Structure 1
């Protein structure tokens, strides 16, 4: 049996993860292209360290059209000082930097979806190389991981912080403690419908305490959603014992996604009419949306009905859908 030996990562860091103080730098990935033969992808990174203590790895821009995380993390990177910290904070505001600068969910270079590219490859595509660096270099440094998400250009969510149900109940309990500390208006026990290749899965399989968010959507941020992100990340650092100060207590409503019946998908394309707004209660069998065929007038619309009692936690955004699109999520 031949042992597989992975190549070293081509990414180099301009920061020293073991040094005390504040460092602002880059993860530099060589990328030869038409307009720059010896070019690079330069991913901004900040490390704030003060003595011994836990390490938090904070990431945004896993998908490039989701903005609350980058807003909160660029702000934290410019304001967090070592005197406020016990341990280490690693901040990467835009994980999939090519997608972030293009304002797209996936990378414009290789169409890579960062959150389906783990564990990555050091000799793969640009997206796979970034995933590999996180898998082999950054995740091993971390004790807790917070990865910000929102709905991007095609979904809109109630603002919630979430963790997953896990086989390791101690790991699961620690994650939900941080979800509670984050203090979003809603807190979710989350079900993933496609967990293969996810950053979440990579972190959890290493035994890391992993939490995530969905804080809105529509390809933009609001003052409210950005504020939730900025307050939440500091609360998580306080609850982890890394940032000085007390957690700002906020009221949160707990939600659950128990199975696949939470998700409603379009079988037909067309113009979608929402019949229920985010946060409103629904009963099993209630109509939550209607899809109008757009090829001709007079054709009957298709009604999308809830498969369970709950409330509307997410909806498609904006107005046109294709077959297979997720059009709504109902949470308990």
Structure 2
């Protein structure tokens, strides 16, 4: 049986606060006996639950890494009831390159689960999280934003699950995160996702989309800082009560929420993020790239809803997701 080669350089169980790496041997042209070194902090306090906290599942998404670096620096063992396993740069090769997928094998980590111990670099990372770290956790929080090709209203979200008790626990944790928007998300493609792997192990799972465009803002970083502490307070791992402000509750009732570009071209947005639209209303015009004077393709809203995501930046390819709608929950 093939064993995963990743080894932590620190104890995952010993009391106290430790910083180290998950070391993945990786032989390459410039280092025959090199390694991929994934930063990790483990903080163990009084007995209690374990939270596994990850950012940069995609390497061009920054709110999670910012919030988790701050948490690793600021939180001390005496603050913790339980254990925090903090991995700010889960997909370290992609993070260092500023890319969605790993430059080492061109694999999307968030479509690589459950991974393979004898596979490529990304498949080994997925397998280690799936088989070693996730089983240790009671709560998993995985930060996302839109990266370089999407932009979102800032939301925390849960998924529809077969287990009603597990879904209720996820919804409670997502609500405690208290982003400006709180969403029940219907994924366009859940196969191979970290989300799916975590939920299939029965864990309480929180994920986010906190902006986009391949950068963070003061607002989006602030949402991440507050949200992760709120979730940990909700779980009883950090002291105190979550800081709760009004949030807009959203739902995605069907696949008509997703709008696909019918052709490549230049996007002219006709509805902005957070705007309420009605069925049939134009969401965008797509102007051709190779000629002038031709009529644009017009993409209309397939249902009533709120614009929660849009393609970013200004050019789109055939088949890209152009816009996503959600509806306010009653």
Match status 1:252 vs 2:247? yes
Match status 1:316 vs 2:311? yes
Match status 1:157 vs 2:145? no
Distance in structure 1 (CA, Å) of the matches to 2:206 and 2:257: 20
Task: Return the offset for 1:51.
Answer: 2.8
What whole-Å deviation, never above 9, does each CA across 1:143-169 have from its counterpart, x for those lacking one? 010000000000000000000011101
Q: 1:214 aligns with which of 209, 213, 224?
A: 209
Structure-1 residue corresponding to 2:231: 236
Structure-2 residue corresponding to 1:285: 280
Distance in structure 2 (CA, Å) of the matches to 1:59 and 1:151: 16
Q: 1:80 aligns with which of 75, 78, 96?
A: 75
Alignment of 1:1-332 (within 5 A): 5=1, 7-332=2-327
Q: What is the TM-score when the length of structure 2 is the normalising length?
A: 0.98
Which structure 1 segments of 5+ residues have no match? Answer: none
What whole-Å deviation, never above 9, does each CA across 1:300-328 have from its counterpart, x for those lacking one? 10001110101100001000000011010
Distance in structure 2 (CA, Å) of the matches to 1:127 and 1:81: 31
What whole-Å deviation, never above 9, does each CA across 1:12-63 have from its counterpart, x for those lacking one? 0012111010010000000000011100000000000113100000000000
Q: What is the TM-score when the length of structure 1 is the normalising length?
A: 0.98
Task: Return the offset for 1:106.
Answer: 0.2
What whole-Å deviation, never above 9, does each CA across 1:89-142 have from its counterpart, x for those lacking one? 100001110000000000000011000000000100000000000011000000
Distance in structure 1 (CA, Å) of the matches to 2:313 and 2:127: 33
Distance in structure 1 (CA, Å) of the matches to 2:115 and 2:269: 38
Q: Which stretches of structure 1, 4 residues or more, deviate above 6 A after TM superposition? A: none
Distance in structure 1 (CA, Å) of the matches to 2:259 and 2:188: 12
Distance in structure 1 (CA, Å) of the matches to 2:191 and 2:233: 31
Q: In angstroms, what is the RMSD of aligned CA positions?
A: 0.6
Distance in structure 2 (CA, Å) of the matches to 1:153 and 1:192: 19
Give the number of aligned pairs.
327
Distance in structure 1 (CA, Å) of the matches to 2:159 and 2:245: 21
Distance in structure 2 (CA, Å) of the matches to 1:147 and 1:251: 23
What whole-Å deviation, never above 9, does each CA across 1:200-235 have from its counterpart, x for those lacking one? 000000000011000000000000000000000000
